[in-house]
Amino acid sequence: MSRIGRVERATNETKVLVEIDLDGTGAADISTGVGFYDHMLHQLAKHGLFDLTVRTEGDLHIDSHHTMEDTALALGAAFREALGDKAGIRRFADAKVPLDEALAEVTVDVSGRPYLVHSEPEGMAPVIGRDYDTTMTRHIFESFVAQARVALHVHVPYGRNAHHIVECQFKALARALRFACESDPRVTGVPSTKGAL
């Protein structure tokens, strides 16, 4: 059974297409107009083993906020669609990923209830590349969580380089989502005493 989600989202600010295959090989075709964000979404696909297509046209003449936010909303919605009824999945997972001096710890519950806990070192450089506002990392995760309906805890206990701090978060998220979505042959039905997620 294929686990593919496809979402198109259009507003006065952005036009977004996202397609994700949870059982892919990590292939990615991504274009948002924000170079570092594209790089992060490639990390999500590669390390999550998700096949991911993202096409976003946004109001970059204003700034990159709407483009990144709306892409994350569409990604979360596509992820939720791809998961279907969640029968047979592991549900919970965590991952720790270092990147040189930085470390990210991510824990996820594919719970049906959106919740984000996020912490990273203070005093990071405000911008990565030309147009990635580092305060947007949390908002990207908030937007994803709201639509994916997962509980997500992201913690970066230390790190100096802003590029490393953000990238290890996306890599750890990818690994945690991959493991949480994998099937467990010992799980019958939905992994919840409620009978639904």
Of 2 and 173, the one with more pLDDT? 173
Classify 152 as helix, strand or coil.
strand
pTM: 0.95
CB neighbourhood size of 109 (10 A): 18
Flag whether pLDDT at 195 surpasses 70: no
Q: Which of the four pLDDT bands, split at 50, 70 and 90, describes residue 187?
A: confident
Looking at residue 13, its amino acid is E
In this predicted model, what pLDDT tens digit does every residue of 150-160 receive, in sequence order?
Answer: 999 999 999 99
CATH class of 4-181: alpha beta
Q: Which of the four pLDDT bands, split at 50, 70 and 90, describes residue 190?
A: confident
In this prediction, residue 188 carries a pLDDT of: 78
In this prediction, residue 186 carries a pLDDT of: 82
Structural tokens at position 108: 């996820």
pLDDT, average across residues 72-81: 98
Of 194 and 37, the one with more pLDDT? 37
Q: Which of the four pLDDT bands, split at 50, 70 and 90, describes residue 10?
A: very high
Closest CA to 149 of 94, 43, 78: 78
Sheet containing strand 102-109, edge to edge, reads: 92-99, 102-109, 151-158, 115-119
Flag whether pLDDT at 166 surpasses 90: yes
Longest dimension (CA), the chain: 51
